[in-house]
Amino acid sequence: MIKRLLVANRGEIARRVFRACRDLGIGTVAVHSDPDAGAPHVREADVAGRLPGAAPADTYLASALLLDVARRAGADAVHPGYGFLSENADFARAVIDAGLVWVGPPPAAIAAMGSKIEAKKLMAAAGVPVLPELDPARVAAEDLPLLVKASAGGGGRGMRVVRDAADLAEAVAGARREAESAFGDPTVFCEPLLERARHIEVQVLADAHGTVWTLGERECSIQRRHQKIVEEAPSPAVGPELRAALCGAAADAARAIGYVGAGTVEFMLAPDGRFFFLEVNTRLQVEHPVTECVYGVDLVRLQIEIAEGARLPDAAPEPRGHAIEVRLYAEDPALDWRPASGTLHTFEVPGVDAEFAVPAGSAGSGLRLDSGVESGAEVGVHYDPMLAKVIAWAPTRRAAARRLAAGLRGARVHGLTTNRDLLVRVLEEPGFLDGETDTGYLDRIGLDVLAAPLADDEAVRVSALAAALAAAAAERASARVLGGLPSGWRNVRSQPQRRAYEGPSGTVEVDYVFGRDGLVSELCPGVSLVSATPSEVVLDRGGLRETFAVATAGVAVHVDSRFGPVALTAVPRFADPSDRIAPGSLLAPMPGTVVRVETEAGATVAEGQTLLVLEAMKMEHRIAAPSAGTVAELNVGAGRQVEAGAVLAVIEGTPE
């Protein structure tokens, strides 16, 4: 029996494992890098051990440090979570050699699936359908389009789509570079790209006594940069016959490698109904909550009990209802999914029925939140930018989508740009609701539609007015003498009160006055004020009362209403000349490391041309020229660390 378990991970998955441990009466040990010292998972553990440093290689990937913390904390078991060392056979062996219980599959099973190239050969021998492997050095024109993949990779890293033979060399080089950085192994291979295919995976659970469960399929087709952002169970494209075939193939794959514990067998499902093996994830998946909700199981608890030697019942439980999960990321979909870092001032999701557990709603539905952050958290650049997973479970797929969209719409997420608006638009998009999803969904619908803010221009204007009225209320509340009249009140119509905010589409000038007829604003004609406090403004618009929640953090102002969230920045009345930046300056959008530079001072560049590549949050980001011109200054070189806002280059416009 396990008495004290160390989670060799961080954030949301560490909290998830700790929740299962508390239910089982098992003591918990957390580990943390220096940036994570104040993280929720650290506070929730019985004991926490420091991993000095910030970079993953120095902390969560440092096997010796993790085992030293386990020894000093008296842990007798290790759960790897997902990511980091969760699929590292050497780490699993080291845990077992140290006399600890490894809550995961046998090291031999991990090693067998550690190379995608070798895994495909094993699966083919076991009778599981596989796509042919293509040698990057021998690709012919008829092999296109194709996918370049990292053999040791996962999570979309080290993956490139190639449609033109001229792009192959750069795609292979980029995939190798990213694979080396993420996994320490630059080996890549190619395989045919299935157009309009779906990404389908089967949850497997096996004990050490020969019982193998398959808990249905999950659809994970909606992806950005080959990383999943929306997952659901069951798939709207899979019927009973196909489900039986998928689950049978997954069980064969698990038995072929002597699998024990929780794992996932991933497939690509072609439009004609054929499916092909992708990989086995020898760990718990990020999207495991949708399976838990549909099958009413606790996969982490079962992982732990299997590691203790327990037997699974002969038959898996029956499914019920439908579950959809979305991954809430700190990123901007409209700017090539640029990750965001900084302070998360407010993080609140209304209507949550359970955290890290299956909602126990009497109507067979509920909203679940699995999050590694909370209000006030600092989101850094060293780790994945996922903030939380929000999951809805309901009797039908459409009911689950509606519940999830409503929860996201009402969430208060302040301080960082996120993909929340895009997730809501996906959940409400007609094609998605009809089950028409595949790996090309985002490109087919278009980010111009899906990444558009929920709040339209009118909503931004009225939200800016609400922000101005809240600011005036705050000033009145802090004034020494209160006259009992609203700020801006005039007995005789005079100059209006003015404030300015930077909004999603530029500057919003707010003007208003109070007279005998109440509030008058040219920005929002016909709107009257019902009440205003520093945190809430109620306006009457055409006889309908609307409430606006206002939160201020420095110059940042966040307004939440039924029209959608609006993030504003208060513009000071008098600009500081020292804040001005030279025209044509190309600023670093985030802290990171310059991987390579593709231009030089004095070069002529075209608008949109890649100038350099920046690595941050485990991904490479291309920095392009904002306009055509000449590189007048180039301030960085390969290997250079840069801070957000640093001037990378200056582009001078080409004279007409």
CATH code of the domain containing 159? 3.30.1490.20
Q: Could you tell me if residue 435 is inside a domain?
A: no
CA dihedral 642, 646, 651, 652 (to 10 degrees): -150
Does residue 518 sit in the same domain as residue 593?
Answer: no
pLDDT at 433 over 70: yes
DSSP conformational letter for 333: G
Q: Could you tell me if residue 439 is inside a domain?
A: no
Q: Could you tell me if residue 256 is inside a domain?
A: no
Does residue 507 sit in the same domain as residue 599?
Answer: no
For residue 60, what is the domain's CATH number?
Answer: 3.40.50.20
Does residue 588 sit in the same domain as residue 508?
Answer: no
Residues of the chain with pLDDT > 90, as a percent, come to 74
Burial class (CB in 10 A: 0-12, 13-18, 19+), 231: buried
Q: Could you tell me if residue 238 is inside a domain?
A: no
pLDDT at 513 over 60: yes
Query: Which of 522, 545, 570 is the endpoint of a domain?
Result: 570
Give the separation between CA 301 and CA 651, rounded to whole angstroms. 56
For residue 382, what is the domain's CATH number?
Answer: 3.30.470.20
- Tens digits of residue pLDDT in 23-36: 999 999 999 999 99
Mean pLDDT of 263-270: 97
Does residue 563 sit in the same domain as residue 585?
Answer: no
Mean pLDDT of the residues in the chain: 92
For residue 613, what is the domain's CATH number?
Answer: 2.40.50.100
For residue 464, what is the domain's CATH number?
Answer: 3.30.700.30
Query: Which of 192, 211, 233 is the endpoint of a domain?
Result: 192
| Residue 289 exposure: Cα atoms within 13 Å on the Cβ side | 30
- Element of type H or E holding 120: helix 116-125
Does residue 585 sit in the same domain as residue 564?
Answer: no
Which pLDDT belongs to residue 494? Answer: 58
Does residue 472 sit in the same domain as residue 509?
Answer: yes
* Greater model confidence, 632 or 375: 375
Does residue 180 sit in the same domain as residue 92?
Answer: no
Query: Which of 537, 570, 603 is the endpoint of a domain?
Result: 570
Does residue 10 sit in the same domain as residue 96?
Answer: yes
| pLDDT-derived band at 656, boundaries 50, 70, 90 | very low
Which pLDDT belongs to residue 655? Answer: 47
- Element of type H or E holding 29: strand 27-32
- Tens digits of residue pLDDT in 329-349: 999 999 999 999 999 999 999
Select from 647, 633, 636 the least CA-distant residue to 605.
633
Domain that holds residue 596: 581-653
Does residue 345 sit in the same domain as residue 411?
Answer: yes
Q: Could you tell me if residue 145 is inside a domain?
A: yes
Q: Could you tell me if residue 321 is inside a domain?
A: no
pLDDT at 311 over 90: yes
- Tens digits of residue pLDDT in 133-186: 888 888 888 889 999 998 887 767 788 999 998 899 999 999 998 888 777 789
Which pLDDT belongs to residue 618? Answer: 61
Does residue 176 sit in the same domain as residue 136?
Answer: yes
Does residue 544 sit in the same domain as residue 469?
Answer: yes
Give every CB contact of residue 175 below 8 A, 6+ residues apart in sequence.
Answer: 148, 149, 150, 158, 159, 160, 188
DSSP conformational letter for 2: -
Select from 251, 232, 235, 547 the least CA-distant residue to 390.
232
Top-ranked range on mean pLDDT: pick from 314-323, 353-362, 576-585: 314-323
Total number of domains in the chain: 5
- Tens digits of residue pLDDT in 488-508: 555 545 578 999 999 998 999
Q: Could you tell me if residue 258 is inside a domain?
A: no
Q: Could you tell me if residue 279 is inside a domain?
A: no
288: left (phi over 0), alpha (psi -120 to 50) or beta: alpha
Does residue 557 sit in the same domain as residue 608?
Answer: no
Which pLDDT belongs to residue 413? Answer: 98
Q: What angle do CA 541, 569, 411 make, to 5 degrees?
A: 65
- Tens digits of residue pLDDT in 530-560: 999 999 999 999 999 999 999 999 999 999 9
| pLDDT-derived band at 109, boundaries 50, 70, 90 | very high
